[in-house]
Chain A
Amino acid sequence: MNDFQPIEARPAPNQAVGFVAWLRNNLFSSIANSIVTLLVMGVLAYYIPQFIDWAFISANWQGTSEDACVKEGACWVFVNAWSYQFFYGSYPAEEVWRINLTIVLLIVVIIASFTLPRHIRLKVSIGAWLLLPIVGIAILDGSWLGLEQVSTDLWGGFTLNVFMAAASIIVAFPFSFLWALGRRSQMPFIRSVSIIFIEFFRGVPVLSLFFMGSVMLPLFFAEGTNVDKLIRVWLVLIFFMSGYMAEVFRGGFQAVPGGQYEAADSIGLSYWQKILLIILPQVIKISMPNILATFVMLFKNTTFLLIIGIPEVVQTLQTALSNSYWLGGHALEGYLFVFLVFWASCFSMSVMARRIEHKMNTDKRD
Chain B
Amino acid sequence: MSETKSAIQDLEVITIENLNKWYGNFHVLRDINLRVKKGERIVICGPSGSGKSTMIRCINRLEEFQEGSLIVDGIEMIEDVKNIEKIRKDVGMVFQHFNLFPHLTILENLTLGPIWVQKKPKAEAEEIAMRYLERVKIPDQALKYPGQLSGGQQQRVAIARSLCMSPNIMLFDEPTSALDPEMIKEVLDVMVELAQDGMTMLCVTHEMGFAKKVADRVIFMDAGQIVEENEPNEFFNNPQNERTQLFLSQILQH
- Give a binary string over B10-36; 1 marks a CB under 8 Å from any A CB, 0 the rest: 000000000000000000000000000
Task: Scan residues 147-172 of chain B and give those whose CB is less than 8 A from a CB of chain A.
Answer: 147-148, 158, 161-162, 165
Q: Which residues of A contact B88 (CB under 8 A)?
A: 265-268
Q: Which residues of B contact A260 (CB under 8 A)?
A: 99, 101
Task: Scan residues 137-173 of chain A and give those whose CB is less than 8 A from a CB of chain B.
Answer: none
Tell me the nearest residue of chain A to B144, going by C-beta.
A365
Interface size on A, residues (CB 8 A): 22
Q: Which residues of B contact A265 (CB under 8 A)?
A: 60-62, 88
Q: Is the Cβ of B161 less than 8 Å from the Cβ of A365?
A: no
Is A95 in the interface zone, CB < 8 Å from B?
Answer: no
- Give a binary string over A335-366; 1 marks a CB under 8 Å from any B CB, 0 the rest: 00000000000000000000000000001111
- The distance in angstroms between the C-alpha atoms of A257 and B148, with both chains bound, is 18
User: What residues of chain B have their CB less than 8 Å away from a CB belonging to chain A?
Assistant: 60-62, 85, 88-89, 91-93, 95, 97, 99-103, 112-113, 116-117, 145-148, 158, 161-162, 165
Q: Which residues of B contact A300 (CB under 8 A)?
A: none
How many pairs of residues, A versus B, come closer than 8 Å at their CB atoms?
A: 73
User: What residues of chain A have their CB less than 8 Å away from a CB belonging to chain B?
Assistant: 257, 259-260, 262-270, 273, 277-278, 281-282, 285, 363-366
User: Which of the listed residues A263, A264, A363 has the most CB atoms from chain B within 10 Å of its own CB?
Assistant: A263
- What are 12 sample pairs from A and B whose C-beta atoms fall under 8 A apart? A259-B97, A262-B95, A263-B93, A263-B100, A265-B61, A266-B95, A267-B112, A268-B113, A269-B116, A282-B102, A282-B103, A366-B145
- The distance in angstroms between the C-alpha atoms of A77 and B95, with both chains bound, is 69
CB of B200 to closest CB in A, whole Å: 16
CB of B175 to closest CB in A, whole Å: 13
Q: Is the Cβ of B147 less than 8 Å from the Cβ of A365?
A: yes
Given the known inter-chain contacts A267-B161, A270-B85, please indicate yes or no for A364 contacting B116, CB distance below 8 A.
no
Q: Which residues of A contact B112 (CB under 8 A)?
A: 267, 269, 277
Given the known inter-chain contacts A259-B95, A366-B146, please indicate yes or no for A266 contacting B162, CB distance below 8 A.
yes
Q: Is the Cβ of B116 less than 8 Å from the Cβ of A277?
A: yes
Given the known inter-chain contacts A365-B145, A365-B147, please indicate yes or no for A262 contacting B62, CB distance below 8 A.
yes
- The distance in angstroms between the C-alpha atoms of A262 and B158, with both chains bound, is 13
- The distance in angstroms between the C-alpha atoms of A277 and B61, with both chains bound, is 21
- The distance in angstroms between the C-alpha atoms of A120 and B55, with both chains bound, is 42
- The distance in angstroms between the C-alpha atoms of A270 and B161, with both chains bound, is 17
CB of A345 to closest CB in B, whole Å: 30
Contact of A267 among B117, B145, B146 (CB under 8 A): B117
Q: Is the Cβ of B117 less than 8 Å from the Cβ of A263?
A: no
Q: Is the Cβ of B117 less than 8 Å from the Cβ of A365?
A: no
CB of A19 to closest CB in B, whole Å: 37
Q: Which residues of B contact A268 (CB under 8 A)?
A: 85, 88-89, 113, 117, 165
Given the known inter-chain contacts A265-B88, A267-B161, A268-B89, please indicate yes or no for A366 contacting B95, CB distance below 8 A.
no
Tell me the nearest residue of chain B to A118, going by C-beta.
B105
